Structure formats: C-alpha cells, structure tokens
Structure 1
Amino acid sequence: MTPFATIYSYPQNFRVQRAHALAALGGLELVDAPNFAMGTANRSEEFLAKFPMGKVPVLETSDGFCLAESQAIARFIAESGSKAEQLLGADIKTRAKIEEFSTFAEQEISANIVPPLVMTLLKIIPFDETRYNQCLGSLERAVKRLEVALKTGNGKFLVGDQLTLADIMVAGALHLAAKFLMDPELLKAAPSLKGYLQGILEIPEVKGAFGELQFCEARAKGQ
C-alpha cells in the first residue's frame, strides 16, 4: 500500500515527531525520506524545484502535493486523518482556540527553545548569555501561560475534554525542552505542567512518535 506521504528532515526533529504522532492518531502512514542528507539533499535542484526555500521539514504526498512549514504540515495531517474533527475542533470557537495554542507553540515555545539548544548543545553559533537568558525568560512566561490554561480547564487537555492538535503542538515542543531546559526551578512556575505532559506523552500514538519523556535536573548551559 502506498504511504500517505513522505516527510523530509534530519533525525530527531521534534516537528517531524509531531507529524508522526498526528499521522498515527489519524490512521495514516507517514514515512521518513530514506538517506536524506541535510546540507546536500536539500540543496539539490530536484529538492529546490519542489521546496524553493530548501528548509525542512517538508512533506510530499503520494499524489505529488508538496507542503512546507511545520505548522501547516501538522494541520494538513490532522485534517487528512480519521480524527480530523476531534483534533481540529467541531465548531468555530473550538477551532480558533486550537489554532491559538498551535500558533503559541511555534511562536512562544519553539522559538525560545531552539536558540538556547543551538548555542549549548549543537554549538552552531557562539554562546550568547544575554540571548540565552532572554529565551529562558520567555519560555518561563510561556509555561506560566500554559499553567493558567490547565487550571481553568480540566488539567488534561488545553482545549475541551479531549486530545487536539493544540496538545500535540505544545507537548511536542515541550518534550524537547523538558530534556534540556525545564529544570525543577522552571517547573516551579507551572506545577500542573509536568502531569499534563506525562498524560499527553503516554498516549500510545504520541509515545510511539516521541519516546520517553525526560526532565532534566540542570538546564543545558553554555560557557
């Protein structure tokens, strides 16, 4: 049977893990592009003809439909599967709240976990303490916002009483942050968050995409 789509990226990209979780939830077969060499394959003429920015992750369906930008990819997969109404919402207000948290995941969480990890773990750019502290401060602010949502809701899901795209987008980004940045000091700001993440990331389809959830004792720091 032909897979629903192929996704192109480097290994252990949390944005790709989110896509795999959504595909599994929706009963879709999503495969990773084999032997994809970042830095060369994404600069080839063939790749750039389909994806002119040369960025990853990008997705190509079995019928040749090409899509870039991870938030758009996640939404497309969610809408293509068997749980579209649950994941995206059955009414306009629910859909709007799901979109709110999905955007929040990219702009307030992902945008503030990637620079510190690029500086401290990958060391692609020099460590900048000012930038690092700004990102960690913004991440703590985002965590506090999630705590408010969990306390005003049921504590299990961000929108309504069942799993949605909002949870996959947020928990997917925080799965990476937990391992390297979310130490006990940061978690003090959101006492409900740890249990929330454990609940989401124990859902079989989600766990299958991300693996075990780990919290660091000390955040990654540069010199």
Structure 2
Amino acid sequence: MAPFGRFYSYPNNYRVQRCEVIAAMNGLTVELVPGFQAGVTNQSPEYLAKFPLGKIPGFESGDGSFHLAEGQAIARYVAESGPKADQLLGAAGDAKTRALIDMWSCFAEQELAANLTPPGLMSVKILPYDEARYNMHIAAFERALGRVEAELKDGRKFLVGGQLTLADIMIVGVLQASTKYIMDKEMRKQVPGVEAYLKNIMEVPEMKEAFGSLELIEARAKLE
C-alpha cells in the first residue's frame, strides 16, 4: 500500500519531524525519500518541477499527484487528514480555538524559527559569523521566548486548551532544535515555564519517537 505521503529532505529536519508526530497521531504512514542531498536534489529539474523554489522540505502525496512546500502548510495538511484533526486544529465550528492554534503555528515560524536559523547556522559554520546579525537574532529569539513564557505563567501544559494541538507541536519542534545551539542554560533560566513546558511535551510518545531525546546545551559556542 502506498504511504500517505513522502518527504524530500535531509535527515533530522525538525519541520519533517513535526509532521511525523502529526502523522503518527493520525495513524498515517509517511516516508523520507532516500538519497536526498541538500543543494543537489532540490536544484534538479525534477525537484523544481514539483517545488518551483527548491524549498526543503517538499511533500508529495502517496500517489504522486499532490505537492506542497512550506512547513506550516504541510503540517496543517497532515493534521487535517486524519481522525485527530479536531484535536490538532480545533473543531470546525470553534473559530476562536482554530485561530489561536493558527496564531501559535505562525509564531513558531515567524518569531522562533526565523530567529533561530541564522545564529544556528553560524554555530555550525554554515553561515559566516556576523556579530551584529547574531546578536540581533538572539535578542529577537529571547523576546519570542518571553512571549511564550508569559502564556505559560499559570503553569499550563498546553498553549491552547487542555490537550496537545498543532500549536504545541509547531512551537516545541523549534524549541527542541534551539536547545542544541542557542537556548543554553543561562537563557533557559530566564524562562522556567518554557523549559518545563518543553520537557513535558517532549515526553509525549509520538514526540519522543520522532525527535529522540532532548539535547540541552550548557553554553552557546563562542564564535568569532
């Protein structure tokens, strides 16, 4: 039987791992296309015919007839395609809950991921170190963390309602990546609610299966 869909991506891409969590919750089978090479596969004519901007990841339906780029759109599609859709996205008639889940999903990409990516890439020497740019993104990331901390100030375990939703999967997907590169012990001390929330969500079986164990750096790498 063909899988629900397949991903074109390098290994351990958190945008794919988030979708693996969602697929598992929905009882859907998804696969990684073997042999993918960033900068090679996604620049090939075959890839660009499916995903014109060459973005990673690319999602293809099991029958090959449907293609999606943009991690947020892919995650929402997978969430909408199974029996847990109401839990993940909010019930069809509950516009406020659905809007809040969308808000946090956008926040994950526009505030957290956008500010994690440049310093993260500098940390692993993919981007050249630029002190001003690095510090600008770190400050913006810390500001975004403060927003999440304020939302969790009452000790809640989930961002929207009383159960795991797409909002949590999108946010924690970025947070667990950040703790490998920039969200060090000193930064975590400023947001104890976020740290507790992150650790709690990462214990959800589907999260643990997709992401593995949480990595927590003590201090950010010194760059120059």
Q: Distance in 2 between matches of 1:220 and 1:106?
A: 24
User: C-alpha offsets along residues 154-206 of structure 1, whole Å, 9 cap, x if unaligned?
Assistant: 52000010000000000000001012211122112211111111111111111
Q: Does 1:96 align with 2:104?
A: no
**Structure 1 ranges of 4+ moved more than 6 A:** none
User: C-alpha offsets along residues 103-157 of structure 1, whole Å, 9 cap, x if unaligned?
Assistant: 0000110001110011121x122101111111111111111100111124x5200
Q: Distance in 1 between matches of 2:139 and 2:200?
A: 25
Q: Distance in 1 between matches of 2:2 and 2:156?
A: 39
1:117/1:220 contact within 8 Å kept: no
The TM-score, its normalising length taken from structure 2, stands at 0.95
Shift in Å, 1:38:
1.9
SS in 2 for 1:60: strand
**Structure 1 residue runs without a partner (length 5+):** none
Q: Distance in 1 between matches of 2:2 and 2:192?
A: 44
Worse overlay, 166-175 or 124-133: 124-133
Match of 1:110 in 2: 113
Match of 2:149 in 1: 147
Match of 1:192 in 2: 193
Match of 1:120 in 2: 123
Q: Distance in 2 between matches of 1:193 and 1:39?
A: 34
Q: Distance in 1 between matches of 2:192 and 2:37?
A: 41
1:147/1:190 contact within 8 Å kept: yes
Aligned residues: 221
Match of 2:88 in 1: 87
The TM-score, its normalising length taken from structure 1, stands at 0.96
**Structure 2 residue runs without a partner (length 5+):** none
Match of 1:212 in 2: 213
Shift in Å, 1:31:
0.2
Shift in Å, 1:50:
1.0
2:108/2:174 contact within 8 Å kept: yes
Q: Does 1:55 align with 2:58?
A: no
1:157/1:196 contact within 8 Å kept: yes
Q: Could you tell me which amino acid in structure 2 is paired with residue 140 of structure 1?
A: E
Q: Distance in 1 between matches of 2:95 and 2:149?
A: 24
1:112/1:136 contact within 8 Å kept: yes
Identity in percent: 55
Worse overlay, 93-102 or 211-220: 211-220
2:123/2:181 contact within 8 Å kept: no
Shift in Å, 1:215:
1.3
Q: Could you tell me which amino acid in structure 2 is paired with residue 48 of structure 1?
A: L
SS in 2 for 1:192: helix
SS in 1 for 2:206: helix
Match of 2:136 in 1: 134
